[in-house]
Structure 1
Amino acid sequence: MATILVLWCLLAASVGCTLAADCPASRLHLTEAPYQNYFLSDCITSSHVIVTSPDANTNNSNAKPRLLVAWPAGNSGAAAYFEAENNETLGLHLESSTTDGEVLETVNEPAPDGAKNENARVGVKGLIRFNTPALLTLPILGSIRSIRDYSEGGGILSPDVQNAVVTEKFGSDGGQFYRTWFDGVTTTWIDFTPASGAEAVQIITGDKWKLRFGTGTYAFRATFNYPQSDQLSASEVLNNASQGLVKESVELITSLSFLSYSNKLLAGSWRFLTYFGRDSMLSALLMQNILSQGEGGALEAIIGAVIERINNTDGTVCHEENLGDYASFLARQKGIDSSAPACDYKMVDTDFLLPVLMRDYFINTDTGRSRAAPFLTKKATFLEENAGVAYCELAQRTAEKIMNTTAPFVSSHVASNLIHLKDGESVGEWRDSGSGLGGGRIPYDVNTALVPAGLRAIATLSQAGIFPDHPEWADTADKYAQVWEDETLRFFEVSVSQSDAQQLVEQYVSDAALAGPPNTDQITGNITFYSLALGGVNNKPVRVMNTDDCFRHFLLNTTDQDQLSLFLDQTADHILQNFPVGLSTDVGLFVANPAYAGDKSISDQFKNSDYHGTVVWSWQLAMMAAGLGRQLARCDADGAPDFCNTDLRSKARDAYKALWDKIDKNRAQLSGEVWSWEYNNGYQPVPLSAFSTTESDIIQLWSLTFLAVHEEDV
């Protein structure tokens, strides 16, 4: 589905500066129709340029002609939306430069003497061609969040943002838009001038000023003057043993480098070009065997970014940072004049990942053990409220929160004491779209996997002296973990009789008007799975089959033998049985299958147009593969589980191999965030944006984990 072209080069020159020969620039071109994605990174700045050009073959009514530039620095960007002047179909594309043959070049202009903002004006320039006269009808300048809210939020535009956009002539025959951010010093510009004999750019005045272009080619520049981040190069993001990937997997390592910086790793581009705690930690756990360690390495960048953003009051780990123009925007809504970064703390899953990652690095690696003391004594600087607080203190706040919130269930074993979404929030874990949990309040993945994994890690960290104020955790956290491992699955278990399962699947196929086969011949007994969440409609379990089994397989080595065997058996069934009986299709495992919900109002929330519906997420494939590999590898270690001596081991191996067959078949999609499907003599991969206003990120951090996750001989 994605056509990939990767070019590595050295930039000889750019506007305003000459790059040294030891400063390589990386270029990447990824196609997912109707989106053309161009990446350019060098020692000056990093830019992601997306050209959207729908045509008669575009199966996407939401796509609009557009030029979008996204910058990791400040999670910022510039978007220009176009319309054909007449009723023709507007096509636009980038052209190669006549000087160096490249599609994009870096812009770097020093700040004028005496300027209020002393940062250089940097960005990207190129050539864009229109096949028919066009109007630039809408510029959005500043935060990526503003652009995302418009594209996915039904055209939401903030008057405070848009009213600050200035339109003016640029030179003798060009035009530009610019906007000064809410901080009063940073500015984003986008300008256009005719090239190759094209007509002059015209400014059309009115309530909303527009720029008019004739048929032909125009030079564009998108720039801003925000402080730049220190990007990790392809070699810097990898450990010594993995340097071969720089040449073996050029496009994937280029993507990983684009998202990697000395102080954090970013979730994805273009829509999530900033820190997300869950994304970065899950990525680190899956890729820890290839990421660079030690001071200045990728693993410490991830852990440090998480600890820096912990809520010092209650220990909650930050889900998403707000910085740059969007931070100022949110502050203004509260009546505060500030551009200081802030955090979103609404998630309930992210806390439990931090101790797991800390244990895996500071306890389980030689480098981590040597770095624990100097790293954890560092003082926080990112958030004003955390300034001067040692990393070890902040990490301990999170561990204290985990111990406090998990204790009630240990003493009671009742569902009401499981981890719930926060009051007033409809989301709280990775399925964080409005319908991702089907209205549930007690998420399966958090309670049955993340909580006990976090507790196990706290015990190990305490045993190593990481939390000297709480030596008792060495024993107590392990006891807590055992209870959560053994006693939580039963609340989520769903068992459907063979006859009921056949009827439910047939009714679902009819209700959803599925084109594919019902596959009910694969129902040869009861169907067992674990509900997506508890506390759904009428306070019932959300009976949606799902891939979140992968968390438990990957994060835990459980010891209740009967429970482990039953759990592994039903996971293998879901992989071996085809949708809508199981989760398996030619395009991968669906992260949700609502066929057994028995409620159309539930199943309607999990369609192939829904962000967490009957769609495929790359990282869930990776974690499922890694998790099953870990469980099967236990059979070759001391104290092998009981299933290793039964037919279940063979069945699990079959499921593991079947999963890898599907992964291999979908290599073209794996670096992207999520994909959907259409049925045409089988399931065919289709971009989610074909059915939704959501554009899947063309590169996503946790979708790059197949760099490290491989099929094992188990």
Structure 2
Amino acid sequence: MALRLIAVLLGTAVLSTAADCPSSTLHVSEPPYENYFLSDCRTSSHVIVTSPGNDSEKQPRLLVVWPSGNTGIAAYFTPENGVDGSLGINLESSTTTGQVLESLDLDSGTVTDHPRVGVAGLVHFDSPAILTLPILADIRAIRDYSEGGGNLHPEIQNQVQEVAGPTEGSATIYRTWFDNKTTSWLDFAPSGSADAVRIIPGDKYTVRFGQGTYSFRATNNYPQLSQLSPQKVLSPASSSLIAQNADQTTALSFLSYTNKLVAGSWRFLTYFGRDSMISVLLMQSILSEDQDGAIEAAISAVLERVNKTDGTVCHEEWIADWASWTNLQTGIDSDAPGCDYHMIDTSYYLPILVQKYFLDTSIGKNRSSDFFNEKASFLQGNVGLSYQSLLETVAEGIMRTSAPFAGSQTVENLIHLKDGTSSGEWRDSSNGLGGGRIPYDVNTALVPAGLRAISALAKGGLFSDAHNDWKTLADEYAQVWEDKTLDFFKVNIPAAEARDLVNEYKSQSAFPGSAQTDKITGDVTFYGLALNGSVGTDQPIVKVMNTDDCFRLFLLDTTNQTQLSAFLQQNANNILAPFPVGLSSEASLLVSNPAYGGSQAYADNWSNSQYHGTVIWSWQLAMMAAGLQRQLDRCKNSTADTKPDFCDDSKLYNTVVAAYNHLWDLIDANRSQLSGEVWSWKYADGEMQAVPYNTYVDLESDVIQLWSLTFLAITRDQSYSQ
């Protein structure tokens, strides 16, 4: 039987040293999901087996996904006896190689531009099973089914075919893509004494398997990506991480390619601009540089996908079969890629990242001229445009949209979500901002940080002479945004009222732990998630305590001393305070605390089953830790006339140091969770214990996530130990 690990998020990484085609494998266990990764010179594959055991809410499933084309195959099974929860499935190791998966090139030795490649393995059914639904489609379409209440796209699903396989007792399920040149195949055949695979007449998708083991092959003939090996994704100085953290570096490699970094697997196995840029900003110290390195791969991918009409940076790409399907919805028969541009936060990261690499590193400086003379080739509308012109277009958009607030500091002039959208920044679930239209992180951190970077890039000569005024104008704008935005989001609650609200929340949420109100010894202060919310009340501020302070800590060195000291004080207080008074829990730092909202709707909207509720996100922990260290390092690295005031306020300084160390204690206590996307908690034995997010909802968080691997680079500074 295949090796099973218990409740760990990153498991067994194995690196093969075969000279002709080196491979890497990784096993990640998060019951009821067993995840297997295989990468080599042929293809990169992620195979997931869902074996729900007695959980009748989850359906047994074999899922294979590929970053090439952002595509996959999902096969859903039911027990032949009709009793939900009675069918268990698992992958078995090969008796020949000892490995669970084997990569395939079925056109090996044949001259072809697009060989049929993929992955093979052995799947075991512990009782007779019926395959009732195969989905051979883009990952977006598979997500629409798994997360959209069983939503299937008939134009896609009606193309699925099944035939008898090439050997006796086998079966093949296949689908030709909308481009009429690419096909996905799923083949099954009995192994050992297992019954023949039987296609049941009268139903297009029904296939029967007996109790026993079956071989499977999942393949397609779409052009493959060129993966960056662990040795190539990391800088030479960081190569020791491969041996020290084989699982995380294997995961990082699986998400890194020569032309882009992808966000996570399995659900987001393609380009996401925000994810890749945040990841590089946090991991820049360990990533490979130069022409063939990970940093330039990420930046070039972002520039390739810029909307040239308004300078908006692409959030998510549409490629391959999903691009074809999307184009067909508008009457266009084309597989040309496209982009989603509805996010309002993503554009600001680009100038920040460009500055950090092309101005602040020696290799970046030497590469700047050649890199920005490169011509775009990915989006049809950008073909032939230089990277320099696309970067300038993004900067023009930022300068244009930030000018109104720089001139007049009103709510109307802040940055709003786009009309008709319910999300627009990282809290992008439908209720992540509680209906808020003006996000805290974008307005108080991303806009001024982006403006500071634009000024630096202008001074560094990366823009045309027509924008020489940006050298000073962008800094002037940034100063206004730094100094004048925080007060719009500030929430201050007198101590007595705060205690009442927390006690009320404990009842509203049925939180079984202590209200901890004895920890409230003064006014509670924090900055709300957004303005103009719709959840619970018509309050102008969405009164949810949150971790988005990390953006301002990590991206800015603010100079308004009174404001900086107050900001650090509230941030440290809220990190140190236990939930539901603050953000701290044994499961780590919660990204939201709705205890001060004052309504049942707040408790319902931000719960431990909500994607951006009282849950924990790894990368927010990393950015918070890095941000606190950045602010503390200012006390070491500043001159006497530029050192922040809080450095000489021993009480405040020690409180910030205490918050830094407390945060790291929480991170260290939850290391087994850190490489996943998001996790939740249950209350047991008098504490909040970490549990997988899927404990409460039928939604899988990604078991490897690009920005959750940033703890490879973000480490504790022991000089601040108390």
Please, what TM-score do these two structures have when normalized by structure 1? 0.97
Q: Distance in 2 between matches of 1:594 and 1:9?
A: 45
2:641 is the alignment partner of 1:660 = no
Secondary structure of the 1:627 match is: helix
Q: Distance in 2 between matches of 1:7 and 1:298?
A: 21
Secondary structure of the 1:167 match is: strand
Deviations 1:672-709 (A, max 9, x none): 00001110011111111111132110000000000000
Q: Distance in 2 between matches of 1:624 and 1:35?
A: 30
Q: 8 Å contact 2:271–2:317 — kept in the other structure? A: yes
2:177 is the alignment partner of 1:181 = yes
Q: Distance in 2 between matches of 1:593 and 1:62?
A: 29
Secondary structure of the 2:150 match is: coil
1:687 aligned partner:
692
Q: Distance in 1 between matches of 2:293 and 2:316?
A: 22
Q: Distance in 2 between matches of 1:684 and 1:113?
A: 54
Q: Which amino acid in structure 1 is aligned with residue 502 of structure 2?
A: V
From 25, 28, 51, give the equivalent of 1:27. 25
Deviations 1:89-133 (A, max 9, x none): 10011111122111100110228989xx84100000000000000
Deviations 1:403-429 (A, max 9, x none): 000000011011110000001111100
2:329 aligned partner:
333
2:546 is the alignment partner of 1:546 = yes
Q: Which amino acid in structure 1 is aligned with residue 573 of structure 2?
A: D
How big is the shift at 1:2? 1.2
2:680 aligned partner:
676
1:221 aligned partner:
217
2:495 is the alignment partner of 1:498 = yes
From 646, 649, 656, give the equivalent of 2:653. 649
From 705, 710, 714, give the equivalent of 2:715. 710
1:393 aligned partner:
389
Identity %: 57
How big is the shift at 1:207? 4.1
Deviations 1:211-240 (A, max 9, x none): 100000000000000000010000100111
Q: Distance in 1 between matches of 2:9 and 2:543?
A: 38
Deviations 1:477-504 (A, max 9, x none): 0000000000000000000111111111
Secondary structure of the 2:628 match is: helix
How big is the shift at 1:540? 1.7
Q: Distance in 1 between matches of 2:625 and 2:180?
A: 49
Q: 8 Å contact 1:611–1:694 — kept in the other structure? A: no
How big is the shift at 1:62? 4.3
Secondary structure of the 1:604 match is: helix
Q: Which amino acid in structure 1 is aligned with residue 680 of structure 2?
A: S
Q: 8 Å contact 2:290–2:296 — kept in the other structure? A: yes
Q: Distance in 1 between matches of 2:170 and 2:8?
A: 35
Q: Which amino acid in structure 2 is aligned with residue 529 of structure 1?
A: F
Give 1:306-317 correspondences, 5 Å limit: 306-317=302-313
Q: 8 Å contact 1:186–1:226 — kept in the other structure? A: yes
Secondary structure of the 1:585 match is: coil
How big is the shift at 1:535? 1.0
Q: Distance in 1 between matches of 2:482 and 2:251?
A: 37
How big is the shift at 1:372? 0.5
1:696 aligned partner:
701
Q: Distance in 1 between matches of 2:306 and 2:563?
A: 35
Moved over 4 A (4+): 111-114
Q: Distance in 2 between matches of 1:30 and 1:695?
A: 13
Q: Distance in 2 between matches of 1:605 and 1:666?
A: 25
Q: Which amino acid in structure 2 is aligned with residue 579 of structure 1?
A: F
Deviations 1:458-480 (A, max 9, x none): 00000011012311100000000
Q: Distance in 2 between matches of 1:228 and 1:671?
A: 26
Q: Distance in 2 between matches of 1:518 and 1:491?
A: 29
Q: Which amino acid in structure 1 is aligned with residue 615 of structure 2?
A: V
2:38 is the alignment partner of 1:40 = yes
How big is the shift at 1:515? 1.1
Please, what TM-score do these two structures have when normalized by structure 2? 0.96
How big is the shift at 1:314? 0.7
2:527 is the alignment partner of 1:527 = no
2:411 aligned partner:
415
2:508 aligned partner:
511
Secondary structure of the 2:231 match is: coil
Q: Which amino acid in structure 2 is aligned with residue 6 of structure 1?
A: T
Q: Distance in 2 between matches of 1:10 and 1:580?
A: 48
Q: Which amino acid in structure 2 is aligned with residue 466 of structure 1?
A: L
Q: Distance in 2 between matches of 1:479 and 1:148?
A: 44
1:425 aligned partner:
421
Aligned length: 701
Q: 8 Å contact 2:9–2:703 — kept in the other structure? A: no
Secondary structure of the 2:232 match is: coil
2:50 aligned partner:
52
Q: Distance in 1 between matches of 2:20 and 2:353?
A: 34
From 126, 146, 151, give the equivalent of 2:146. 151
How big is the shift at 1:196? 1.1
Q: Distance in 2 between matches of 1:52 and 1:112?
A: 35
Q: Quickly say closer, same or farther: Cα 1:145–1:633, change in 2 above 3 A.
A: same
Deviations 1:626-656 (A, max 9, x none): 0000001111122211011111000000000
2:109 is the alignment partner of 1:106 = no
RMSD between superposed Cα atoms in Å: 1.3
How big is the shift at 1:206? 2.7
Secondary structure of the 2:233 match is: coil
How big is the shift at 1:22? 4.9
1:600 aligned partner:
600
Q: Distance in 1 between matches of 2:695 and 2:320?
A: 31
2:4 aligned partner:
none
2:137 is the alignment partner of 1:142 = yes
Secondary structure of the 1:110 match is: coil
Q: Quickly say closer, same or farther: Cα 1:356–1:583, change in 2 above 3 A.
A: same
1:610 aligned partner:
610
Q: Distance in 1 between matches of 2:384 and 2:360?
A: 28
Secondary structure of the 1:69 match is: strand
Give 1:100-249 correspondences, 5 Å limit: 100-110=97-107, 118-170=113-165, 171-249=167-245
Q: 8 Å contact 1:177–1:189 — kept in the other structure? A: yes
Q: 8 Å contact 2:9–2:675 — kept in the other structure? A: no
2:485 is the alignment partner of 1:484 = no
Q: Quickly say closer, same or farther: Cα 1:4–1:279, change in 2 above 3 A.
A: closer
Q: 8 Å contact 1:62–1:692 — kept in the other structure? A: no
1:461 aligned partner:
457
Q: Which amino acid in structure 1 is aligned with residue 295 of structure 2?
A: L
How big is the shift at 1:175? 1.1
Q: Which amino acid in structure 1 is aligned with residue 159 of structure 2?
A: A
2:1 is the alignment partner of 1:6 = no
Q: Which runs of 5+ in 1 are unaligned?
A: 13-20
Deviations 1:528-569 (A, max 9, x none): 000100011236210000000000000000000010011000
Secondary structure of the 2:436 match is: coil
Q: Distance in 1 between matches of 2:184 and 2:34?
A: 22
Which has the larger displacement, 657-666 or 594-603? 594-603
Q: Distance in 2 between matches of 1:490 and 1:154?
A: 41
